[in-house]
């Protein structure tokens, strides 16, 4: 009955809306995704896709990455890639929910003429369904090879789009099944253009799923919980829990209870605690970068495994490098879009400092964050013999437990718009996004 009950969550939200607190909690993720979409719009995976989609006709949906108009599914694909390509998008539910759902919602909402309030409700619903699925798996999808963002994203985006299309429970359940049918994406593609493609494809799949279900296309009635269905197929050890009761939205929507973490740095989230820790130390103490003899970063073995690039030579690779993070923090006092570039990664000073960074791996695990150490910090030895231990950080700035303040969010938005060179009036767009419940989606970009 799980598939059917997920369909009922959608249809119930269509009839009654979600809640004001849930919609407010959804806003930072939506705003931040628009920012990362605009920042990523000139990256190679996006420009190649734009060429490949070149023959598409004009349509009602805004294709933000290229600032031209095209059809909703393709707009969702392209903008999903743009949102995820810089690895600067938000983090939650063991993946990146907004990079998949927001492009799908904005594209379809623009085509349908939906209100901002409907778009917010759609996000809340998709997030709820995503949470219901991810919480049933005790294992690590990554280990088996699955990219959770795209695997769950296809279903979450389908649910969000089903809400926008105002599907009834039966058709919404088929949309969810059609999303599951298209769930895909492999870890082995990390470090290639296919990582962001997987997010974009999931966004596109969500639009297709809901559109087809609206037209009467069917999926299996039990496609989520069936022994040969979604949860078991993707479960590394086949131990997914299909029996656990669904959370009752009347007791609070998941987005309000487990909101997204917003990235302050365009690097793997696993580097953020170290970055905060070193940058805080640098603000308090003079640490001349050219005097650094060595740096030991203390973090968990699992996180270090993901940060596999030890001497990166491209901006993309540098995103997954604790050595780069430490070097950038010490040399420049920041690690922003202007540091995450090929030329900075290849800079002789950066390369030299990276060679002096090593890791000390901890098995003192956090109870609340799977695979993380309780805290991350660094020990820096200087040429003059000084030893600086930076303060341990448990929640990076931007973590849901330590959210960015509005000025920080707004500053990131402006940085992203400038970096992408879209020629958009950032302040005007940002103002509309903070008032999204009152803004028709198709007027967002005007």
79 near a copy of itself (CB under 8 A): no
Give the nearest distance from C-beta 127 to a copy of itself in angstroms.
22
Within residues 27-56, the interface with a copy of itself by CB under 8 A covers 44-45, 48-49, 51-52, 55-56
CB of 242 to a copy of itself, least distance (A): 12
CB 382 within 8 A of CB 389: no
What is the closest distance, in whole angstroms, from the C-beta atom of residue 95 to a copy of itself in the complex?
15
Orientation of helix 2-16 relative to helix 116-134, angle to 10°: 160
Residue from 21, 115, 135, 189 touching a copy of itself (CB under 8 A): that is 189
Among 69, 186, 375, 400, binds a copy of itself (CB under 8 A): 186
Asked if residue 398 lies in contact with residue 92, where contact means CB atoms within 8 angstroms, the answer is no
The binder of a copy of itself chosen from 23, 84, 136, 201 (CB under 8 A): 201
Q: Is 287 in the site for a copy of itself (CB under 8 A)?
A: no
Tell me if 281 contacts a copy of itself by CB under 8 A: no
Is residue 226 part of the contact set for a copy of itself (CB under 8 A)? yes
Give which of 44, 127, 56, 55 is closest to 82, Cα–Cα.
Answer: 44
Q: Which is nearer to a copy of itself, 141 or 412 (CB)?
A: 141
Query: Is 181 near a copy of itself (CB under 8 A)?
Result: yes
State which residue, 15 or 239, has the beta carbon closest to a copy of itself. 239
Does 215 help bind a copy of itself (rule: CB under 8 A)? yes
DSSP 334-365: --STTTSSHHHHH-HHHHHHHTTEEEEEE--B
List 227, 288, 421, 431, residue binding a copy of itself (CB under 8 A): 227
Helix axes 169-181, 194-214, angle to 10 degrees: 150
d(CA 120, CA 376): 35
Q: For a copy of itself, which residue of 223, 299, 373, 404 counts as binding (CB under 8 A)?
A: 223
Q: Is 188 in the site for a copy of itself (CB under 8 A)?
A: yes
Distance between CA atoms of residues 176 and 57, nearest Å = 28
Give the three-class secondary structure for 388: strand
Nearer to a copy of itself, 144 or 435 (CB): 144
Instruction: At 301, list the tokens.
Output: 């073995």
| 182 lines the binding site for a copy of itself (CB under 8 A) | yes
The residues in 229-248 that bind a copy of itself, with binding defined as CB under 8 A, are 229-230, 232-233, 238
User: Which is it for strands 377-382 and 292-300: parallel, antiparallel or unpaired?
Assistant: antiparallel
Q: What contacts 224, CB < 8 A, 6 or more positions away? A: 2, 3, 6, 133, 155, 176, 177, 180, 230, 231, 242
Burial label, 238 (beta-carbon count in 10 A; 0-12, 13-18, 19+): exposed
Contact (CB, 8 A) for 107 and 113: no
Stretch that binds a copy of itself, among 162-170, 196-204, 336-344, 367-375 (CB under 8 A): 196-204
Q: Which stretch binds a copy of itself (CB under 8 A): 127-135, 176-184, 283-291, 433-441?
A: 176-184
Question: Which of 92, 214, 224 is closest to 161 using CA atoms?
Answer: 214
Report the candidate in 84, 81, 53 with the shortest Cα–Cα distance to residue 69. Answer: 53
Q: How many residues bind a copy of itself (CB under 8 A)?
A: 56
Nearer residue to a copy of itself within complex by CB, 226 or 310: 226
Q: What is the number of helices (H) and of strands (E) in the chain?
A: 20, 6
Pick the binder of a copy of itself from 18, 19, 98, 183 (CB under 8 A): 183
Asked if 187 interacts with a copy of itself (CB under 8 A), we say yes
- With CB under 8 A as the contact rule, the residue among 12, 217, 366, 374 that binds a copy of itself is 217
Over the window 116 to 145, marking each residue x when it contacts a copy of itself by CB under 8 A and - when it does not, the resulting string is --------------------------xxxx
Q: Which of 153, 204, 159 is nearest to 6 (CA)?
A: 159
**How many residues make up the chain in this entry?**
446
DSSP for residue 318: H
Q: Does 211 bind a copy of itself (CB under 8 A)?
A: yes
Burial of 226: CB neighbours in 10 Å, binned 0-12, 13-18, 19+ = middle
219 binds a copy of itself (CB under 8 A): yes
Interface ranges with a copy of itself (CB under 8 A)? 44-45, 48-49, 51-52, 55-57, 59, 71, 142-146, 177-178, 180-194, 197-198, 201, 208, 211-212, 215-223, 226-230, 232-233, 238
């Amino acid at each position: 009955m799980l598939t059917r009950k997920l369909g009922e969550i959608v249809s119930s939200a269509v009839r009654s809306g979600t809640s004001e607190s849930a919609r407010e909690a959804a806003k930072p993720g939506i705003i931040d995704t628009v920012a990362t979409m605009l920042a990523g719009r000139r990256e190679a995976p996006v420009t190649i896709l734009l060429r490949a989609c070149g023959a598409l006709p004009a349509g009602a949906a805004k294709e933000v990455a290229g600032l031209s108009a095209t059809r909703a599914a393709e707009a969702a694909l392209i903008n999903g890639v743009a949102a995820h390509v810089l690895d600067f998008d938000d983090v939650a539910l063991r993946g990146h929910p907004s990079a998949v759902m927001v492009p799908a919602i904005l594209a379809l909402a623009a085509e349908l003429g939906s209100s901002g309030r409907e778009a917010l409700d759609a996000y809340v619903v998709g997030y709820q369904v995503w949470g219901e699925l991810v919480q049933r798996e005790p294992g690590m999808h990554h280990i088996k090879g699955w990219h959770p963002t795209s695997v769950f994203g296809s279903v979450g985006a389908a649910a969000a789009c089903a809400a926008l299309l105002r599907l009834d429970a039966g058709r919404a359940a088929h949309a969810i099944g059609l999303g599951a049918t298209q769930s895909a994406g492999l870890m082995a593609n990390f470090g290639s253009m296919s990582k962001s493609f997987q997010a974009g494809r999931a966004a596109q799949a969500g639009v297709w799923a809901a559109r087809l279900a609206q037209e009467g296309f069917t999926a299996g009635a039990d496609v989520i919980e069936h022994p040969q269905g979604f949860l078991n197929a993707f479960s590394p050890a086949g131990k997914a829990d299909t029996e656990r009761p669904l959370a009752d939205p009347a007791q609070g929507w998941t987005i309000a209870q487990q909101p997204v973490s917003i990235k302050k740095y365009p690097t793997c989230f696993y580097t953020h605690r170290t970055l905060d820790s070193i940058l805080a130390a640098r603000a308090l103490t003079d640490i001349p970068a050219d005097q650094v003899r060595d740096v030991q970063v203390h973090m968990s073995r699992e996180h270090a495994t993901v940060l596999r690039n030890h001497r990166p030579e491209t901006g993309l690779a540098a995103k997954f490098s604790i050595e780069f993070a430490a070097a950038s923090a010490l040399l420049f006092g920041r690690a922003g879009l202007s540091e995450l570039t090929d030329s900075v990664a290849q800079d002789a000073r950066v390369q030299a400092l990276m060679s002096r960074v090593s890791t000390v791996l901890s098995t003192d695990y956090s109870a609340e964050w799977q695979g993380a150490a309780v805290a991350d910090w660094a020990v820096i030895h200087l040429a003059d013999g000084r030893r600086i231990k930076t303060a341990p950080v448990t929640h990076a700035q931007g973590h849901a437990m330590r959210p960015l303040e509005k000025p920080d969010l707004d500053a990131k938005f402006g940085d992203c718009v400038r970096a992408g060179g879209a020629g958009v009036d950032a302040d005007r767009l940002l103002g509309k996004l903070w008032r999204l419940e009152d803004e028709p989606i198709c007027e967002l970009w005007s």
